[in-house]
């Protein structure tokens, strides 16, 4: 069942797990602090709220497993009931693990973004305003003046020759 849940989690960034809560992506934007642009941070967290999965989720899973909605709802809840009653650690793909400790589960994420993003020190870099970039890009091309002069000279040559 877990291999069928991973594509949904990747596409929509969240997954309601009966008996555990909501597993979801958390994104923190990059911030400028004391001349350093702090890298954005992404993580996967487990919230302990008991919301029911949406109809959209069940439709996605029914399509993925080629089952009816009723079958999917029953199998999904039965899968998690069986999984959680074993009181054993289990993997959720390459994203992380659910650890069982004293009959309660905790999420340990293996999703690290610190290797993808670095902090950038911009205090020592020159600041270039967007207006300056636009001024550099706009060249004052005057080639059309030369083309018009050549056109007029050509027309005058044709008129005086005939």
Q: Are residues 152 and 73 in the same domain?
A: no
Domain that holds residue 54: 2-121
Q: Are residues 82 and 12 in the same domain?
A: yes
Q: Are residues 101 and 139 in the same domain?
A: no
Q: Are residues 41 and 112 in the same domain?
A: yes
Q: Are residues 116 and 140 in the same domain?
A: no
Q: Residue 116's pLDDT is what?
A: 82
Percent of the chain with pLDDT over 90: 40
Sequence-ordered list of residues with C-beta below 8 angstroms from that of 72, at least 6 positions apart, any chain: 58, 61, 62, 65
Q: Are residues 78 and 142 in the same domain?
A: no
pLDDT of residue 63 exceeding 90, the answer is yes
Q: Are residues 19 and 56 in the same domain?
A: yes
Q: Residue 147's pLDDT is what?
A: 92
Q: Are residues 45 and 82 in the same domain?
A: yes
Q: Are residues 22 and 46 in the same domain?
A: yes
Q: Are residues 147 and 72 in the same domain?
A: no
Sequence-ordered list of residues with C-beta below 8 angstroms from that of 120, at least 6 positions apart, any chain: 36, 37, 39
- In tens, the pLDDT along 42-61 reads 889 999 888 889 999 999 99
**Banded model confidence at residue 137, pLDDT cuts 50, 70, 90:** low
Domain count, the chain: 2
Q: Residue 143's pLDDT is what?
A: 84
Q: Are residues 55 and 82 in the same domain?
A: yes
């Amino acid at each position: 069942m877990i291999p069928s849940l991973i594509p949904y989690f990747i596409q929509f960034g969240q997954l309601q797990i009966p008996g555990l809560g909501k597993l979801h992506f958390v994104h923190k934007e990059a911030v400028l602090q004391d001349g350093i642009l702090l890298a954005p941070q992404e993580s996967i967290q487990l919230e302990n709220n008991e919301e029911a999965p949406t109809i959209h989720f069940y439709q996605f899973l029914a399509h993925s497993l080629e089952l009816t909605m009723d079958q999917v709802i029953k199998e999904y809840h039965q899968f998690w009931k069986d999984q959680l009653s074993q009181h054993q650690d289990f993997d959720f793909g390459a994203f992380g693990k659910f650890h069982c400790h004293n009959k309660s589960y905790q999420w340990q994420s293996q999703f690290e973004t610190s290797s993808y993003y670095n902090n950038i020190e911009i205090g020592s870099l020159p600041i270039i305003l967007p207006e300056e970039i636009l001024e550099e890009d706009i060249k004052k091309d005057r080639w059309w003046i030369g083309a018009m002069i050549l056109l007029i000279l050509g027309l005058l040559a044709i008129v005086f020759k005939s």
